[in-house]
Amino acid sequence: MNQIVPAQKRSLVDSMASRYDMEPTEFVSAIKATVIKGDCSNEQFAAFLMVAKEYKLNPLTKEIYAFPDRGGIQPIVSIDGWMNLINSHPQFDGMEFQDSNGDDGKLYSVECRIYRKDRARPVSVIEYMSECFRQTDPWKKWPNRMLRHKAAIQAARYAFGFSGIMEPDEYDRMKDVSPQVKTVIADPLSDEPIAAQETVIVDGEILNETAGQEIPADTPLSEAGTEGGEQSPSAATLDNFSVVDHLTDQDKVSLRELINRLKAAVGDDPAVIGMTCNAFLAGGYPLSEYANQKAGTIAMHFKAVCKQEMEVADAIKHACGIAQIDETEVML
């Protein structure tokens, strides 16, 4: 009687190396020497390769590379990589750009329209020079081209749901992050003090906030006057700027987009959720400070899904409750 010998599962490194006809050890050495800037652990290297494999991007041609980011590494996709992602998507059916100039004749905005074969209407995104321009060499030398790239990448995210990756300009903005500690006082109706929080500033703007003590992702939404384990919105800060303690309509729209992205990014690696959230926060979506706090809590729920501590449906339910939107507003 013949025995069936199960096929051995190839490692991630072996799979990626064979794609480029390289020996695994040579492939690893080449990637670490040319693509990943800075030291990284085996786990971080594996996470980077997972993203490259998922999106079928070639790290050897710099379609995707990585830089150190807060104890980990951040996958960066070059404009060549983004064009590869767009053109290789099976539903891609063309892309158009429309420039708008100001009264002074200078480029004011760029609209990108991406057509999908399975949709009747194109996905349209407008990026504005006043919001995107930075005092960096690429923006000074090629402002029109940079704005066109920005519009194409953002339109691709809307059209195809790419997540867990960042474009070079977004990473440059993230490099300017400077941690700043602020003090908060407790809700006057509570006996428990609230821990100090760390505020992350990017280009002079608040990017996100993380509490000193992580809130369990499965904390009931209605527990102790909180939403999803968040601090009470009635807590007062000692900062000089005003705090919006309620969600605006724009906040709800932005958080809905975040939930859609996080849902699409759910997999075996919780780090991808963090990357997706960071990329979203760095993407210029309008969020109040209060909504930034909610974004972090929403991300924790989807990390719990990756850790198999929560079902996707429950995470979506909690996330929509936090964002104060109906579950039907999240795309199926």
The 10 Å Cβ neighbour count of residue 321 is 17
150 CB neighbour count, 10 Å cutoff = 26
Helix or strand (DSSP H, E) at 272: helix 270-281
Q: How do strand 72-77 and strand 64-69 relate by DSSP bridges?
A: antiparallel
Average pLDDT over residues 124-148: 92
144 confidence band (pLDDT: 50, 70, 90): very high
Q: Which among 155, 158, 140, 126 has a CA at the least distance from the CA of 264?
A: 158
CB 329 within 8 A of CB 256: yes
Q: Measure the CA–CA gap between 3 and 25, rounded to whole angstroms.
A: 33
**pLDDT score recorded for residue 230:** 40
Mean pLDDT, rounded, for 208-235:
37
* Residue 296 pLDDT greater than 60, yes or no: yes
Instruction: Using pLDDT thresholds of 50, 70 and 90, give the confidence band for residue 222.
Output: very low
Distance CA 209, CA 299 (A): 12
User: Lowest mean pLDDT: which of 67-81, 107-121, 149-163?
Assistant: 67-81
Question: What is the share, in percent, of the chain residues with pLDDT greater than 70?
Answer: 72
| Average pLDDT, integer, range 14-35 | 87
Q: In the structure, what pLDDT confidence band is assigned to residue 236 with cuts at 50, 70 and 90?
A: very low
Tens-digit pLDDT profile for residues 45-61: 888 888 888 888 999 88
Helix (H, G, I), strand (E, B) or coil at 277: helix
Taking only Cα atoms into account, the Rg of the chain, rounded to an integer number of angstroms, comes to 22
What mean pLDDT is predicted for residues 301-312? Answer: 85
**How many Cβ atoms from other residues are within 10 Å of residue 163's Cβ?**
21
User: Is pLDDT of 283 > 70?
Assistant: no
Residue 178: pLDDT over 60: no
With 50 as the cut, is the pLDDT of residue 227 above it?
Answer: no
Question: What confidence tens digit (pLDDT) does each residue in 182-203 have?
Answer: 433 334 334 444 344 444 443 4
State the pLDDT at residue 194.
38
- The whole-number pLDDT of residue 175 equals 60
More confident position, 66 or 39: 66
What is the mean pLDDT of the segment spanning 150-179?
78
What's the 3-state SS for 124-182?
A: EEEEEHHHHCCCCHHHHHCHHHHHHHHHHHHHHHHHHCCCCCECHHHHHHHHCCEEEEE
67: its two tokens? 């830089």
Higher pLDDT, 152 or 299: 152
When mean pLDDT is compared across 55-64, 79-88, 238-247, 267-276, the lowest value belongs to 238-247
Q: Give pLDDT tens digits for 99-132.
A: 999 889 999 999 999 999 999 999 999 999 998 9
Q: What is the pLDDT of residue 36?
A: 83
Q: For all residues of the chain together, what is the average pLDDT?
A: 75
pLDDT for 115 equals: 96
**Listed range (7-16, 157-166, 208-217, 243-252) with the worst mean pLDDT:** 208-217
Q: What 8-state DSSP symbol labels residue 191?
A: S
